[in-house]
Structure 1
Amino acid sequence: MTVLNNALVALNDAFWTFFVIPLLVILALYFTVRSGFVQVRLLPEMFRVIRSSPGIAPDGGREISSFQAFALSAASRVGTGNIVGVTLAIMLGGPGAVFWMWLMAAVLGAASFVESTLAQLYKVRTSTGFRGGPAYYMLHGLGRRWMGALFAVIITVTFSLVFNSVQSNSITGAVGTTMDAIGGTSGWVLDVAVGLFLVAITAAVIFGGVRRIATVAQALVPLMAILYILLGVAVVILNIEAVPGVFGAIFGHAFGLREVAAGGVGTAILWGMRRGMFSNEAGLGSAPNAGATASVSHPAKQGLVQTLGVYFDTWLVCSVTAFIVLLYGTEFNPDVAPIEVAQTALEGSLGGWSIHALTVILFLLAWTSVLGNYYYGESNLQFLDATPRHMTYFRSAVLVAVFVGSVAPLAVIWTLADISMGVMATVNLLAIAPLSTVAFRLLADYSRQLRNGLDPQFSLAKMPDLRNVTAWGSATGSPPDDHEIEEEEATDPEVGDDGQAPEEEDPGRGDDRGPESKDH
């Protein structure tokens, strides 16, 4: 097993260092500049649109709201990567890894906007709402069904099987540490028991469909994230005098001469970017599957909401872990599991009770990640026209993966997760690069309406040249309503299609005449 893992680690390091990271950085910078720094410029708008109301699905139920789609993607984002992944990055890359994690989140916000906006545009209607994601924009946007099928297979294996094994592995590790702390029974017997319990509660939810998954995610993710953030705030307050030293370590190890000479900066960059992507998933192609489910009035709205998710995940939740760990120390025993390091660090500041609190929080965050990861696989298997019987087989395979992850070695699982994540990111980035011009046109349309004081609306009649768009009306459409007439009269003809704001603000003709949001 050690020889196999070492070979996989060497392959993985080379793949990320010489291909994935350069591709990611180049495209993320291009998206940032081309969109006029949308991830910063429209930050206030992100908080506004997350509150929009959904419509009614064909089966009579409520469609997925913008916030529910945000929670569904956060269920996958906020989990093991925020606690175990960040701790592992610090252990292997030093404090400087945190800086590169922060920086990549800022740059990758534009990539998140592009991929989720495209997912909204090319989504398809179902009886319960909408479904979409990279496989769908590869098919309908690029006309490459083979590429969509390849991505569908990769994301199903990566998230629903491999990543879910990572989540369950971290849960059993955390529970084991808690049992050791109270003198209880640990070891393989406990791992098996926890694994069976995870299988039972996961089965109870995933057989209920996307609405049940979204409802559970909406209830648990914000609550657990807030509790974890409060723990981090308490740690910072109790160690406030050491906070400047933590910032010094983060920036010093990211750029320090000693680290450059020793090759430590490269290690910090590598681990910061890899663990950052595992956590916030920007550019990876996973969050668009959740973003496509939202019922909103303009594709760019959910692109903005999913960008906010990147910031929430990395700048807030991941930073909590970084400060908890770094306020405890910067030198760690490489033989100790990352979850044990995080629990010990929290105990050092708050006492023994915090070990158990972190275990509960990690358990629920990681379990909701299992649910979110499962949905990504379900959505993509439906793209492949899976039958109900095949979906039953798939759900069974997910439950097996959850159990196996509970008892399998950590190192091999993390390495497999990294490799599959890199392949998946590569396929998605190669797809959104040529399609990004469509996302920028949508952003330009959205920005024009905002400047004119309107709540942005979209229909295919505005861009009839777009092909294979089925969820936004027809290319011919119906006669324009008052909203559309007002928008056309108020549009600044000098605004380009790159989505960037003009030098001078156009006051437009916006007033209170805009209609209520029309949900698609």
Structure 2
Amino acid sequence: MINDIVAAINNVLWGDGQVLIVMLVLAGLWFTFKLGFVQLRHFVYMFTIMKGSTNTDAKERGISSFQALCTSLSARVGTGNLAGVAVAISLGGAGAVFWMWVIAILGMATGFAESVLGQLYKVKDDRGEFRGGPAYYIQQGLNKRWLAVTFSLCLFLGYGFIFSAVQANTITDALAHAYDVPTFYSGLVIITLAGLIVVGGMHRIAHFAEWIVPFMAIGYVLVTIGVTIANIEQVPALLWQIVSSALGLEEAASGALGAAIKNGIQRGLYSNEAGSGSVPHAAAAASPNPNHPVSQGYVQMLGVFVDTLILCTCTAVIILLAGGSQSDHMEGIRLTQDAMSSHLGEGGIDFVAAAISLFAFTSVVANYAYGESNLHIFKLDNKIGRIVYTSGYLAMILWGSMAALPQVWAMADMALGMMTVINIIAIVWMTPTIVSISKHYFEQRKNGQTPSYKAGDCEIQGKSEDGIWE
């Protein structure tokens, strides 16, 4: 009965109902319009704001903007960047890549909006560290405690426990398939490494992300550049294939254009997480530079760009240059492995196994941070609360590393779907605050000033925590 209920909810949210896809696309269009196409007008500035982003005031107990970006990318960049893109191409053809780009551009505006709110309504926990996220701006900005609690419970179920179990399962399965490593032993290694990192809280997680995320992203991009150069004569035809398939210019089969649009949008949304309410937790943890909530909007907007328009595109290029195309079967990581093997020989399997393990492990660690950020909502951000949460988190990872998880995946999808619905409603509801504080930043920058914000500078909904923006 429970499985039937979960399946019915998921069908409405993710399946035939397509509620979430419609909500996320409309939200992207809404914030693109309300913020004056910020992702296009301020595209270059989005990169320049990262200058000095590694600096933070230690007394503030916040992480740097660069660490916040890397932490959010740790969670964003996962198996979806490898397997998800393969599924999109398998079901929607090369044209799905184009629509993945389109939804990423729209998602940049949504990511901007939710991250501004996460930073504006952040609080300090018992360690003096910044915490925040949708539950906080729902509670402080909308004064809807029950809705904030509902969001937090969904996040605990999804990011706090199930998603990490699933990512661990992906790692152990890849290692067992490639090297015959028993899942139990690889599971023990995962919880040992994860435990050593997460026990240090957000600061240690951010420090880990700061080092590992650039390494894995740059490495993946360099391999893709090498593959592209080796097949440079195919690139013009590849680009034409993507565009023509996306616009239905060469499609003979009916429904092919619809498949490209549906799968490109769906996989793009899954990958970049814009609108789901996860990324504001990382945005809230930062001591921004410049000291204004909107600066974190730019930082996390860059995260959407890197995740989808760079890393997902890398996977698409590797697959399409290897001759991958639309098929009758939903192919995931196997299609990516086959494509990489065709370019790198037998080493391609090893490379993909290593990439899967690294991408998934960074997600495991970042997921913990998102869950821990919500302990404050329940007054559990203390030693006992953290011990209980950490123990459950590590136990779920060990269990997930050995279990078959289709039904658990369904529950995780439901939790993520409900999170997204709540968050989209909240940020659209709080559009006046987002627009007001963004205009404050834009005007200061236009006047040649270094943007800064103090409580009372803008008219906002509700009230941010005392002392945060004094």
TM-score by length of 1: 0.82
Distance 1:265 1:335 in 2: 17
Aligned to 1:517: none
1:281-292 matches, within 5 Å, as 281-292=273-284
Determine helix, strand or coil for the equivalent of 1:470. coil
Greater mean alpha carbon deviation, residues 193-202 or residues 262-271? 262-271
Tell whether 2:419 aligns with 1:424: yes
**Contact 1:163–1:417 (CA<8 Å) still a contact in 2?**
yes
Shift of the 355–471 alpha-carbon distance from structure 1 to 2, 3 Å rule, reads farther
Query: More relative contact order in 1 or in 2 (CA 8 Å, sep 6+)?
Result: 2
**Contact 1:328–1:348 (CA<8 Å) still a contact in 2?**
yes
Determine helix, strand or coil for the equivalent of 1:262. coil
Aligned to 1:487: none
Tell whether 2:267 aligns with 1:275: yes
Q: Deviations over 1:463-492 (max 9, x none)?
A: 366532126667xx6xxxxxxxxxxxxxxx
Distance 1:334 1:375 in 2: 39
Aligned to 1:66: 65
Code of the residue aligned with 2:383 in structure 1: it is P
Match of 2:347 among 353, 366, 370: 353
Match of 2:208 among 203, 216, 221: 216
**Contact 1:54–1:63 (CA<8 Å) still a contact in 2?**
yes
**Contact 1:205–1:212 (CA<8 Å) still a contact in 2?**
yes
Tell whether 2:439 aligns with 1:444: yes
Count of residues in correspondence between the two structures: 462
Greater mean alpha carbon deviation, residues 346-355 or residues 296-305? 346-355
Code of the residue aligned with 1:80 in structure 2: it is T
Q: Displacement, 1:419? A: 3.4
**Contact 2:160–2:393 (CA<8 Å) still a contact in 1?**
yes
Code of the residue aligned with 1:207 in structure 2: it is V
**Contact 2:78–2:360 (CA<8 Å) still a contact in 1?**
yes
Distance 1:413 1:245 in 2: 41
Distance 2:324 2:411 in 1: 27
Larger Rg: 1
Determine helix, strand or coil for the equivalent of 2:21. helix
Code of the residue aligned with 2:386 in structure 1: it is M
Distance 2:12 2:83 in 1: 19
Code of the residue aligned with 2:438 in structure 1: it is L
Aligned to 1:510: none
Distance 2:10 2:377 in 1: 34
Q: Deviations over 1:39-76 (max 9, x none)?
A: 11112222232233211336xxx531111111111110
CA-atom RMSD in angstroms: 2.6
Distance 1:245 1:311 in 2: 24
Aligned to 1:313: 307
- Structure 2, unmatched stretches of 5+, are none
Distance 2:467 2:268 in 1: 34
Distance 1:72 1:130 in 2: 14
1:103-114 matches, within 5 Å, as 103-114=102-113
Aligned to 2:367: 373
1:79-478 matches, within 5 Å, as 79-126=78-125, 127-179=127-179, 185=180, 190-256=182-248, 262-296=254-288, 297-331=291-325, 338-386=332-380, 387-409=382-404, 411-412=406-407, 414-463=409-458, 467-470=462-465
Shift of the 123–6 alpha-carbon distance from structure 1 to 2, 3 Å rule, reads closer
Distance 1:295 1:214 in 2: 13
Greater mean alpha carbon deviation, residues 305-314 or residues 203-212? 203-212
Distance 1:336 1:23 in 2: 25
Determine helix, strand or coil for the equivalent of 2:430. helix
Shift of the 48–14 alpha-carbon distance from structure 1 to 2, 3 Å rule, reads closer
- Structure 1, unmatched stretches of 5+, are 180-184, 478-520
Aligned to 1:27: 27
Greater mean alpha carbon deviation, residues 156-165 or residues 285-294? 156-165
Distance 2:412 2:238 in 1: 29
Identity in percent: 38
Q: Deviations over 1:59-104 (max 9, x none)?
A: xxx5311111111111101121211222222223332222221110
Aligned to 1:492: none
Shift of the 273–473 alpha-carbon distance from structure 1 to 2, 3 Å rule, reads same
Shift of the 144–405 alpha-carbon distance from structure 1 to 2, 3 Å rule, reads same
TM-score by length of 2: 0.91
Greater mean alpha carbon deviation, residues 461-470 or residues 146-155? 461-470
